[in-house]
């Protein structure tokens, strides 16, 4: 891949990776305790529209309109990086201004980016409507991220990672589904563990539960991170513990991390359930809450190997996120203290 100006992208990635490795080694004395994480999936720009009153249908309403970086997979990668994990991101962007901004964003966030560029499709974008209660609704366009091909995968970046994270947004359609499944097989063949965020309950319903599971259960995920609505759709259960138990039957090799929004989260591991209470009920904007939780959880768990402690840490991070606007608000002093504790 070559970036604008004729600079070789692989050289830049290699240089960034060395820099980040040195930074981590300097910080902790060794890089061995920071296994590289690879996240594959979508990068998209969020056009965030937020009103302080109920949206007036057919009329005009004042509010906030903000352009922010997003994409479920990219959000996870950024939050894992912010929490101290050496993180790579594999995705596809358009050869356009938004694509350039995507590269700049990931570089700024210290995420090593392996980005395929295309002139055939624009960089992804999503309209995010946040109502006066803080709940969000999204309209996703089919950007370049929906056209990642198996043949475009950076095999070395995937095979050398110790953990691969995938999101269901890569599983709802082809070609990204084939690319994600191929990446999982590459990672597994090189001894990596794999986690899976089940994405959107509406999209699972549209695809069909059994169809969705037919493309995911055979990959033998080590960690599955659904939210409550996704768990309900996948299992037909309504109560968190019953959902977790049913998910364990569907994904028998996986640690189940059930995100419960205002109710916190539930860890189901080796037949034992642990409820993690929420850290806040001050909801301003729910955008990116699950992604920040997943990124923080992986950054903590892959180093410390305690699911319960990782969940407590992730709850702290996601609680801060929902008190701010957007999926990746700029860290303040309060958040930086939490990040240091990881």
What's the chain's length in residues? 342
Residue ranges per structural domain of the chain: 36-43+71-124+143-341
- For residues 295 and 144, the answer to whether their CB atoms sit within 8 Å is no
Residue 192 has pLDDT above 90, yes or no: yes
Residues 163-172: pLDDT tens digits?
A: 999 999 999 9
What local confidence, expressed as pLDDT, does residue 17 receive?
39
Q: What angle do CA 214, 174, 74 make, to 5 degrees?
A: 95
Buried b (16+ CB within 10 A) or exposed e, 5-32: eeeebeebbeebbeebeeebeeeeeebe
Specify which residues 223 forms β-bridges with: 195, 255
Fold of 36-43+71-124+143-341: 3.40.1190
What local confidence, expressed as pLDDT, does residue 18 receive?
41
Q: Which of 93-107, 135-149, 179-193 has the lowest mean pLDDT?
A: 135-149
Q: Which of 18-27, 29-38, 78-87, 205-214 has the lowest mean pLDDT?
A: 18-27
Could you tell me whether strands 223-224 and 255-259 are parallel, antiparallel, or unpaired per DSSP bridges? Answer: parallel
What local confidence, expressed as pLDDT, does residue 52 receive?
78
């Amino acid at each position: 891949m070559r970036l604008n100006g004729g600079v070789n992208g692989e050289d830049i990635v290699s240089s960034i990776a060395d820099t980040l490795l040195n930074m981590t080694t300097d910080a902790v004395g060794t890089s061995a305790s920071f296994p590289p994480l690879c996240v594959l999936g979508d990068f998209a720009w969020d056009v965030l529209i937020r009103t302080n009153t109920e949206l007036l249908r057919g009329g005009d309403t004042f509010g906030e309109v903000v352009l922010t970086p997003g994409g479920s997979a990219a959000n996870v990668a950024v939050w894992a990086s912010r929490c101290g994990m050496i993180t790579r991101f594999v995705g596809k962007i358009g050869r356009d201004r938004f694509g350039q901004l995507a590269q700049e964003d990931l570089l700024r966030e210290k995420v090593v980016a392996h980005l395929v560029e295309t002139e055939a499709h624009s960089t992804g974008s999503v309209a995010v409507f946040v109502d006066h209660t803080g709940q969000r609704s999204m309209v996703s366009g089919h950007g370049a991220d929906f056209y990642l091909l198996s043949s475009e995968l950076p095999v070395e970046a995937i095979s050398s990672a110790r953990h691969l994270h995938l999101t269901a947004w890569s599983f709802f359609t082809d070609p990204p589904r084939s690319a994600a499944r191929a990446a999982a097989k590459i990672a597994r063949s090189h001894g990596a563990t794999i986690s899976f965020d089940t994405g959107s309950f509406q999209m699972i319903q549209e695809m069909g539960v059994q169809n969705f599971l037919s493309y995911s259960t055979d990959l033998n995920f080590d960690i599955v991170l659904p939210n409550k609505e996704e768990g309900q759709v996948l299992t037909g259960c309504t109560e968190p513990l019953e959902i977790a138990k049913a998910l364990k039957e569907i994904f028998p090799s996986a640690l189940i991390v059930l995100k419960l929004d205002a109710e916190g989260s539930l860890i189901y591991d080796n037949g034992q359930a642990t409820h993690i209470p929420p850290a806040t009920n001050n909801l301003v904007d729910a955008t990116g809450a699950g992604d920040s939780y997943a990124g923080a959880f992986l950054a903590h768990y892959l180093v410390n190997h305690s699911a319960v402690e990782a969940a407590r840490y992730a709850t702290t991070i996601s609680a801060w996120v929902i008190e701010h606007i957007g999926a990746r608000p700029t860290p303040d002093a309060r958040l930086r203290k939490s990040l240091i504790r990881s």
